Structure 1
Amino acid sequence: MKKLLSALALLSLLGGCATHQSPTGRGQTLLFSPAEMNQLGAASFEEMKKQQKISKDSKVNAYVGCVANRVTAALPDKSQRWEVVVFDSPQVNAFALPGGHIGVYTGLLKVAENQDQLAVVLGHEVAHVLAQHSNEQVSRAQMTGTGLQLANVALGAGGIANRDLYMAALGLGALVGYILPFGREQESEADVMGLELMARAGFDPRAGTVLWQNMAKAGGAQGPELLSTHPSHNTRIRDLARLEQQVMPLYEAARASGVKTCQMTK
């Protein structure tokens, strides 16, 4: 009977799903509402803040906050407020979650060597949120049988016991040991959208290829944690080189209008 009820619940949920178009025109199946995804994002972020050591370095926080605030200020939705937290960890990683949450690990700052390279990463991560990639991930997990727990969590009925599952579905799998990575199409989409976003914010898009070359060199053969869910290939770097030239006018226009420089003070 429990199996039957679960199957009926899943069929009911799938019957109500809608097919959407991503910002680049790619088809998406999204089972969850923005409000439900924001709830998932907020719960996951609160859990991350409990699990991870938060940096108290005021200079690091000011620098990361400066870059993140400029990137998010370039988003179409000006009403969304973004919470930015720097985690004190050697991990080379960063993430963004639905509902306006950004996490950056101090280890990333050793690979992203300046404000422009950091903006490449943050633009990419925020683009995942803007394109509703986490909704796709949770929806995919739901449809492939990862568990009805995801729906329960999204509706507020699952409780914190399911945190590993829903954090993984939100793209945080490498951090919790449950890998559910974004797909190649989603990664390419985030590259395109993220580079345009950081250029609109007045960061130099030519930092993109340099940043990913740095990423490829970091951490030995497997690369840093960021690459465990963000695969980097020569094709990706070539594509970024092409994209950089396309968005240069946006960068030049932003610089001409005047933008704040983000620097790590000594």
Structure 2
Amino acid sequence: MASRLLRSTTITLLGLAIAACSSSPTGRNQLVLVPDDQLNEMGVQSFEQMKSEIPKSDNLKQTQNVQCVADHIISVLPEKYQKQAWEVVLFDDEQINAFALPGNKIGVYTGLLTVATNQAQLAAVMGHEVGHVLARHGNERVSTQLATSQALALGYELSGEDSAVKSAVFQGLGVGAQYGIILPFSRAHETEADLIGLDLMAKAGFDPEESAELWRKMGGGGASTPEWMSTHPSNNTRIQSLESAMAEPNKIYASLQAKNQTANCY
């Protein structure tokens, strides 16, 4: 009985997975189970909550610079994203970070501007964050976690009576799923967003070489989490990946330079 149920459920999950398969902008296969409209709604709600909890910056010049960089990035997005009304907010907060959410929301923290000290470095971060949205990484993360948790729960139910050994095995499987599936997917997302962002910033008229320079500055601190336990690649891995993909973005940027069409936000 249990084996028949397992086969039936496995076939159903495989059918859903096949139906939900799509490709990212770089051609990578991905699993997307959640309707994009639902993710967009969640993104908008999260952004509204952040605006109610974190003050906006009152530095007009910095706000205008951030909006200008965002406008240049948005201007080179695929047409369906260009048509959307993007909201960009500079939050008055010391953390060195930025984000983009489904639902066309971009947030930048003032702390980032102490590290991303020129327009191209800010464009590198902003292009990276928008890259997450274009590649539907939020949806993919939710879908992967959903599929993993459901598979573990199903296996637990079908594996016999409760025991200390059984509990220990499935706790181990949960840890294995975290480090073997979910975190590597996150690192793949970060690398993909870096490459998408590199392409976007070059097309928007920002010097792509500044992306690697930014990560060199970001890596100037102390010890970091081991790469295999982190959701992000190490800074060295990140820099190497960017530099290996730099030829085409540099060509795009040089072409814009020759036409005097590079960005001028600062």
**TM-score category of the 2 structures, normalised to the smaller one:** 0.7 to 0.9
Partner of 1:72: 74
Once structures 1 and 2 are overlaid, which stretch shifts more, 84-93 or 230-239? 230-239
Residue number in structure 1 paired with 2:143:
139
The question of whether the paired residues in 2 share the 8 Å contact of 1:208 and 1:244 is answered with no
Counterpart-to-counterpart distance in 2, 1:30 and 1:119: 28
Indicate how the Cα distance of structure 1 residues 62 and 230 shifts in structure 2: closer, same or farther if over 3 A, else same: farther
Within the candidate set 89, 114, 118, 2:118 is matched to 114
1:83 and 2:87 are equivalent in the alignment: yes
Aligned match of 1:217: 220
Secondary structure at 1:91 match in 2: coil
Which segments of 5 or more consecutive residues in structure 2 lack a partner in the other structure? Answer: 1-8, 151-181
What root-mean-square deviation, in Å, do the aligned CA atoms of Structure 1 and Structure 2 show?
Answer: 2.5
- Could you give the per-residue CA deviations for residues 170-212 of structure 1, whole angstroms, max 9, x where no partner exists? xxxxxxxxx9896121111111111001000000001011100
Match of 2:250 among 227, 248, 251: 248
8 Å CA contact 2:206, 2:263 repeated in 1? no
TM-score by length of 2: 0.74
Number of the residue aligned with 1:130 = 134
The aligned counterpart of 1:169 is none
How many pairs were matched up? 217
Q: Aligned with 1:103: secondary structure?
A: strand
In structure 2, the residue matched to 1:15 is 16
Return the match for 2:29 from 27, 32, 37: 27
* 1:237 equivalent in structure 2: 239
Amino acid at match of 1:72: I
CA contact (8 A) 2:208 2:253 kept: yes
Contact 2:203 2:253 (C-alpha < 8 Å) held by counterparts: yes
Residues of 2 paired with 1:47 and 1:229: CA distance? 24
Note the alpha carbon deviations across 1:115-170, whole angstroms, 9 max, x for none: 00110000100001000000001112222339xxxxxxxxxxxxxxxxxxxxxxxx
Name which one, 1 or 2, has greater alpha-carbon Rg.
Answer: 2
Q: Is the 8 A contact 2:204 2:263 kept in 1?
A: no
Distance 2:131 2:76 in 1: 12
Name structure 1 gaps, 5 residues minimum.
Answer: 1-7, 147-178
